[in-house]
Structure 1
Amino acid sequence: MEALDLSAEQAAAAVGARPFLLLALLLIGAVGPILGLVAVARYSERHARALWGRAVQAYRAAAEHPATQRLSTAFPAVARVLRELSAAEYLVLHLGLGLALSVAALVFVALAEAVSGGSPLVQVDLALARALYGATSSAGVAALGAFTHLGSGWALTVVALVVAAVLLGRRARVLAVGWLIALAGGGLLNYALKALFARPRPSFDDPLAVAAGWSFPSGHSMATFVTFGMLSYLGILFARTLRVRVAIVALAMSWTVAMGFSRMYLGVHYLSDVLAGFAAGSMWLAVCISGIEVARRRPRNGDGRPTAA
């Protein structure tokens, strides 16, 4: 085990000595799975349609089952929400979001336990942080120092207000309210998590940048993940082609990863802080998007038909 821990620290130090190799690995890890899923989905489209038909039939059969009808009578509010969800939305969107929430929660808990328990991950964090600090350049610090301000509270507040104004101008009130709740709630959640774990930030004799507050999870990483995740969601709603939607998601993920990398490069966060910020952001984003989708399809007309925002 000691040899394994040592090799992990050595690998972290080697990667940290090449900062933009680390950035490339992070980008591949974030964007690669998205492109892979799209490729698999397109390759298996013919089989997926057949499976989809069976899934829709199963959904309808379950909805018409006497037991389901009895539950609908006992819990009319839940039944009304489920009626407004088509089979596609229920099976793909909500189950997909539920899976994302579960995976993100497991990742966050694993990282939190590792950091709190002083596992070998802490030593990997330290080795990577020291190697990055030693490999920085004045040009890199200046560039990423300017870039990281775009993930600060004031910058994201401006984005929040501009996007909310655009949505209200399009009469998408549910989306506007959901957008503001997602961003504001994400900030509050991050503040609570930082206070809960109270992890000190990396410390250097001659720091490249100074940041206030606790380190775990990274606030810039989490806030950027939620903001650009919501922007991706809105882009997917309004974009018309798969190519544009994939491009939106890939660009949003790339920006978010770059923001997390900037926090590590400047020496104000560890790798586990950034990853935990992404995981916590994923959890909150899944909850928000699922809630918005339910709210968008609630009946709003006098005849009870759902009206999408």
Structure 2
Amino acid sequence: MSRIAYGKLIRFIEARLSPGGELGLHLTAGVALLVTAVAVFREIAEAVGEQDDIARFDGHVAQWFNTHAFEPLTTIMFGITHLHGIPAMSIAAALLALWFWRKGAPYWVLSVAVSVPGGMLLNVLLKYTYERPRPAFDEPLLTLATYSFPSGHTAAATLFYGLLASYVVTTSPSWRRRCLAVVAACAMVLLVAFSRVYLGAHYVSDVLAAMAESAGWLAICITAVSTLRRRRAARRDQ
């Protein structure tokens, strides 16, 4: 490699890792997350489609939870799952957008408007693409007629809590608060995912695929909105 080409490569890498700039570190991180999420989702989808080991694992876990369900855990899981259905999450997203607006963060309002409804629509399209039946039991705790893969509740929770955690991470100067936001968001997503598996509404692979799907979509939305904001800011400064 010539010295000129090497210099261009170094400048390109430095630009991609720079915290500032419309095509800097935020874009690199967004692309990396998107590629990782797509790869994880593809692996899970292929394993499910081929009835690989993960499909057998899904069946064993589903049957175990159905057999060992007990109160008051079942009632608690029903409460968690109802709080993260489409109506409840739509209201929560609207309230979050209103909160962002009152804080003077219009680009975060745009992020909510694009990521949450768009991610829910993507989930529906994927359900009808794969058409995986729900888990079946002799005595089900919950009976649903829609498709199973990927989990809509888990997808919505990943979108909502992931967006909220992203806001805290990018705006808070406190590392403790940032870490707490990430841990809390992950805990809530895992709790919702567990409720869906426990109630027999989904397989483990359904909720894992939903996390990957929503993480990828969230990466697209936040990166796009951030790039738009930085580009407009750069134009104003010229």
**Alignment: residue pair count:** 230
Q: Match of 1:273?
A: 206
User: 2:155 aligns to what SS in structure 1?
Assistant: helix
2:131, 2:148 within 8 Å by CA — same for their partners in 1?
yes
**One of 62, 67, 90 as aligned partner of 1:157:** 90
The answer to whether the 8 A contact 1:195-1:214 is kept is yes
- TM score, norm. by length of structure 2: 0.89
Partner of 2:216: 283
Structure number with the bigger relative contact order (C-alpha 8 A, sep ≥ 6) is 2
Instruction: Give yes or no for the alignment of 1:105 onto 2:46.
Output: no
User: Aligned AA for 1:134?
Assistant: T
State how far apart, in whole Å, the 2-side matches of 1:257 and 1:58 are. Answer: 44
Q: What percent of counterpart residues are identical?
A: 30
- The structure 1 residue matched to 2:122, chosen from 186, 189, 193, is 189
User: Can you give the 5+ residue segments of structure 2 that lack an aligned partner in the other structure?
Assistant: 1-6
Corresponding residue number in structure 1 for 2:154? 221
Change (3 A) 1:236 1:62: closer
Q: What's 1:87 paired with?
A: 18
**2-side partners of 1:87 and 1:229: how far apart?**
23
Amino acid at match of 1:286: A
Pairing partner for 2:144 from 211, 222, 235: 211
CA distance in 1 between partners of 2:89 and 2:99 (Å): 15
1:304 maps to a residue whose letter is R
Give 1:248's aligned residue: 181
User: Which residue type is aligned with residue 232 of structure 1?
Assistant: A
Give the gaps of 5 or more residues in structure 1. Answer: 1-56, 64-81
2:33 partner letter: A
Structure 2 vs 1, CA of residues 107 and 86 (structure 1 numbering), >3 Å: closer, same or farther? Answer: closer
Q: Residues 81-127 of structure 1, C-alpha deviation per residue, up to 9 Å, x if partnerless? A: x8xx8822555322222222111111111111111112121111101
Q: Which runs of 4+ in 1 moved over 4 A?
A: 57-60
Distance 1:212 1:227 in 2: 25
Match of 2:47 among 114, 125, 128: 114
Per-residue CA deviation, residues 152-183 of structure 1 (Å, 9 max, x unaligned), is 11111111111111222223222101211100
- Residue aligned with 1:304, SS: helix
Does structure 1 retain, via aligned residues, the 8 Å contact 2:84–2:153? yes
Aligned match of 1:304? 236
CA-based RMSD of the aligned residues comes to 2.3
Alignment of 1:32-111 (within 5 A): 61-62=11-12, 87-89=18-20, 90-111=23-44
Q: Which amino acid counterpart does residue 264 of structure 1 have in structure 2?
A: V
Distance 1:114 1:61, change over 3 A: closer
Residues 61 and 204 from structure 1, CA distance in 2 versus in 1: closer, same or farther, beyond 3 angstroms?
closer
Residues in 1 aligned to 2:200 and 2:25: alpha-carbon distance in whole angstroms: 40
User: Taking structure 1 as the reference length, what is the TM-score of the superposition?
Assistant: 0.69
- Pair 1:238 & 2:150 matched: no
Q: Which residue of 2 aligns with 1:44?
A: none
Contact in 2 for aligned 1:235/1:245 (Cα 8 Å)? yes
SS of the residue corresponding to residue 237 of structure 2 reads: coil
Determine the structure 2 residue equivalent to 1:257.
190
> Would you say the 8 A contact 2:33–2:215 is kept in 1?
yes
Question: 1:243, CA displacement in angstroms?
Answer: 0.6
Matched-pair contact (CA < 8 Å) for 1:59–1:87: no
| Amino acid in structure 2 at the alignment position of 1:199 | R
